[in-house]
C-alpha cells in the first residue's frame, strides 16, 4: 500500500510539471542604422579603424531592400540574413564551429559607379545595435551598428 501511495504521488507530481521551451525571437533589422564602430583584431587585441561608412546612414527594409546615403550618393540594393553551419569568429574573437547567422549587404549607385558589398561571418542583433564580424584570413573585423 505504501508503495502504491508513493507511486501515485510521484505520478501526480510529474504530471503537474510542465516543460517550457523558450524560442529566441528573430529580431528584425528593419530600420535606420549608422555604423558606430569598426575594429579589427589579429589575436592580440582590438584596434579601431575608419571604414569610410561612418558618415552615412543605412536603411534596411523588411522586404530585403537596403539603402545607404552619405550626402553624396544614394546607393540601393539588398540585404539578407541566412542561417548556416560552419566555423566563424564571434564578436569577442573566439572561434566556433556551429550553426550561426551570416549577413550580406549589397548596395550600388549606378550613376557614380560606387558600391558597398559587405559579407559578415556572424551577425548578432540586439534591439538597438547589430554586431557583425568577418574574418579575412588575417584580421577579425568587427562592425557595430546603432539604430537611430
For the chain, what are the domain ranges? Answer: 28-147
∠ Cα 38 44 49 (to 5°)? 20
> In Å, what is the CA distance from 21 to each residue of 12, 16, 18, 24?
22, 16, 10, 10
- On the question of pLDDT at 76 being above 90, the answer is yes
What mean pLDDT, rounded, does the chain reach? 86
Using CA atoms, how far apart are residues 1 and 21, in angstroms rounded to an integer? Answer: 37
Using CA atoms, how far apart are residues 105 and 113, in angstroms rounded to an integer? Answer: 17
- On the question of pLDDT at 106 being above 80, the answer is yes
Q: What is the C-alpha R_g of the chain?
A: 23
pLDDT of residue 28: 82
Cell, residue 95: 572561434
> What is the architecture, at CATH level 2, of domain 28-147?
Beta Barrel (2.40)
pLDDT one-digit tens code per residue, 39-66: 999 989 999 999 999 999 999 999 999 9
> In Å, what is the CA distance from 45 to each residue of 39, 123, 129?
10, 20, 22
Q: Using an 8 Å Cβ cutoff, are 67 and 59 in contact?
A: yes
User: Mean pLDDT lowest for which of 7-11, 76-80, 83-87, 142-146?
Assistant: 7-11
Strand partners, 78: 65, 106
Which among 74, 142, 66 is positioned nearest to 105, based on CA atoms? Answer: 66
pLDDT one-digit tens code per residue, 21-43: 333 334 589 999 999 999 999 98
Dihedral sign (CA 92, 47, 37, 76) = negative
**Which H or E run contains 7?**
helix 2-16
Amino acid at each position: 500500500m505504501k508503495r502504491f501511495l508513493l507511486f501515485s504521488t510521484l505520478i501526480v507530481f510529474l504530471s503537474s510539471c510542465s516543460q517550457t521551451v523558450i524560442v529566441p525571437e528573430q529580431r528584425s533589422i528593419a530600420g535606420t542604422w549608422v555604423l558606430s564602430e569598426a575594429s579589427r583584431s589579429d589575436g592580440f587585441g582590438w584596434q579601431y579603424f575608419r571604414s569610410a561608412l561612418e558618415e552615412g546612414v543605412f536603411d534596411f527594409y523588411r522586404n530585403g531592400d537596403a539603402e545607404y546615403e552619405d550626402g553624396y550618393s544614394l546607393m540601393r540594393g539588398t540585404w539578407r540574413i541566412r542561417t548556416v553551419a560552419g566555423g566563424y569568429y564571434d564578436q569577442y574573437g573566439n572561434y566556433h564551429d556551429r550553426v550561426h547567422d551570416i549577413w550580406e549587404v549589397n548596395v550600388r549607385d549606378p550613376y557614380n559607379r560606387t558600391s558597398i558589398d559587405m559579407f559578415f561571418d556572424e551577425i548578432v542583433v540586439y534591439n538597438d545595435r547589430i554586431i557583425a564580424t568577418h574574418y579575412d584570413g588575417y584580421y577579425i573585423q568587427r562592425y557595430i551598428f546603432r539604430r537611430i
